[in-house]
Amino acid sequence: MGFPQYLGGATFHTLRMAAIPSPSLFRPLLTTPSLNLLLLPRPTKPPHLRFPSLLRPFSLSTATASANQEAPITAPSDTGLKNQWKAAIDFKFIRDNKDAVAANIKNRNSTANLELVLELYEKMLSLQKEVEQLRGERNAVANKMKGKLEPSERQKLIEEGKNLKEKLATLEEDLLRLTDELQQEAQCIPNMTHPDVPIGDEDCSILRKMVGRPHGFGYTVKDHLELGKELDLFDFDAAAEVSGSKFYYLKNEAVMLEMALVNWTLSEVMKRGFTPLTTPEIVRASVVEKCGFQPRAENTQVYNIAGSDQCLIGTAEIPLGALHMDSILSESSLPLKYVAYSHCFRTEAGAAGAATRGLYRVHQFSKVEMFVLCKPEDSDSYLEELIGIEEDLFTALGFHFKTLDMSSADLGAPAFRKYDVEAWMPGLGRYGEISSASNCTDYQSRRLGIRYRPELSPMNQKKAKNTPTQFVHTLNATACAVPRMIICLLENYQQEDGSVIIPEPLRPFMGGIESITYKSR
């Protein structure tokens, strides 16, 4: 179940939490599109990575114009400028491929302002030239003063050097501000799109696979809300009094069912070579931004902790992506495959109606997430592996579902390509999304600073330290979004007498319970 497309790192829903200290180092997070964040810059220098054509996986957050150059980082100063993290963005590629970038922005319904990015880029280039020219003049004056000079000539050079220094300081400050503004705008440009992705809105998505068929019921089916009430599995009313709407208590077998789903999923995914983790559920707002989530609407999905620079996670993808932030990995360590259990928190702003009833759309839920870091040439194959694991899991549980190759307008900013899995929910009378899998290519890693150094043959080991690093590709996929899995299980395995059969793979994790029945009165 992917993070909604309008998730943004620039607007946040405020969550007020008591007794959480706010370190004086961090400024409060604003709730306006202009972030006032104190974010730490990356200490490392990402290299240049070229793709020969748009048909290969490519993100606009690509490397800078040379192997040893990165976007300038605003240094701490007393000028009042923000200390803002910088992504390694290939502005030259954006300028040279303006039409392709503009078409991609349009196809993805992005609000990125390409014309402003290009305008700011040209201004930055012009200002950089002026700064370099002044630095050259200043150095020339300094060299002249090293020799023997008449007092009047020396004084003249001193005055000239002073004027150049003052003018240079002003221009350097202007350059820092301009660079920061350029970064803010350019970071909104979405990843490029896989050439096979269907162009258009969500209804243009292409069916990739259909598995199973709807269960045949010779009686009137109930939805999960009715089943949960009759079997004493949920309490939404009490949760609404305690926490508000879209919260819930799980009770009795539903608690065991959640634990069974999580443990069974973890055990199955670990068999595929994934390392299990639990993650922090509070992260810095800068990490949310570095994972590439951009505002797609006024409504926000992120809970922000008031008086701090921290947020509650909406998916474990965020802390998993940041696990190797600012690191250079060895080629031999790749791929890194993780599976994480976490709670997730989403405001679900704007969500309403019958389609969101009960457990389908809630503010807090448990989820098992898969995450892969790999070499660029391998990411397409790992996307197929991830969606294959999801399909195997849901098939093992006996679900009827379909896999969709999602259209361009349904892709979040980081995604190069995304598959969604929608399962049949007979009580709701429709298909509902239960999972997704995305290839984000290098879009996130270039913001998070995650690279690897290609290994050379033994004969070339002396050159190993000079081997240019490359950015890894990142992929994410939901193995188990607990509430929607519970919906599918209850509604598809309900019996005429009102009981619910537990699928065989989950029974060992349920203490041998084979069905959920009415409680004795």
Residues of each annotated binding site? 315, 346-348, 362-365, 369, 433-436, 476
Note if 16 is an active site residue.
no
Looking at residue 498, the DSSP 8-state letter turns out to be S
**Alpha-carbon distance 328 to 455, whole Å?**
12
**Per the residue annotation, which of 42, 361, 446, 451 is the catalytic one?**
361
**Alpha-carbon distance 56 to 296, whole Å?**
26
Looking at residue 37, the DSSP 8-state letter turns out to be -
Tokens 């969606």 belong to which residue? 387
458 burial via Cβ count (<10 Å: 0-12, 13-18, 19+): exposed
Note if 333 is an active site residue.
no
**Alpha-carbon distance 486 to 483, whole Å?**
5
Note if 484 is an active site residue.
yes
Q: What is the 3-state secondary structure (H, E, C) of 401-469?
A: EEEEECCHHHCCCCCCEEEEEEEEECCCCEEEEEEEEEECCCCCHHHHCEEEECCCCHHHHHHHHHCCC
Task: Measure Cα distances from 458 to 333, 446, 455, 500 in Å.
Answer: 18, 29, 9, 61
**Per the residue annotation, which of 417, 451, 484, 491 is the catalytic one?**
484
Residues annotated within a binding site for ATP: 346-348, 362-365, 433-436
Note if 346 is an active site residue.
yes
Note if 34 is an active site residue.
no
**Per the residue annotation, which of 42, 108, 284, 346 is the catalytic one?**
346
**Per the residue annotation, which of 436, 438, 446, 451 is the catalytic one?**
436
Buried b / exposed e along 27-36 (16+ C-beta atoms within 10 A):
bebeeeeebe
Who's near 497: CB < 8 A, 6+ residues apart?
A: none
**Per the residue annotation, which of 208, 433, 507, 515 is the catalytic one?**
433
Who's near 372: CB < 8 A, 6+ residues apart?
A: 335, 336, 337, 338, 382, 386, 474, 475, 476
**Alpha-carbon distance 167 to 174, whole Å?**
11
**Alpha-carbon distance 145 to 332, whole Å?**
54
Residues annotated within a binding site for L-serine: 315, 346, 369, 476
Report the catalytic residues.
346, 361, 433, 436, 484
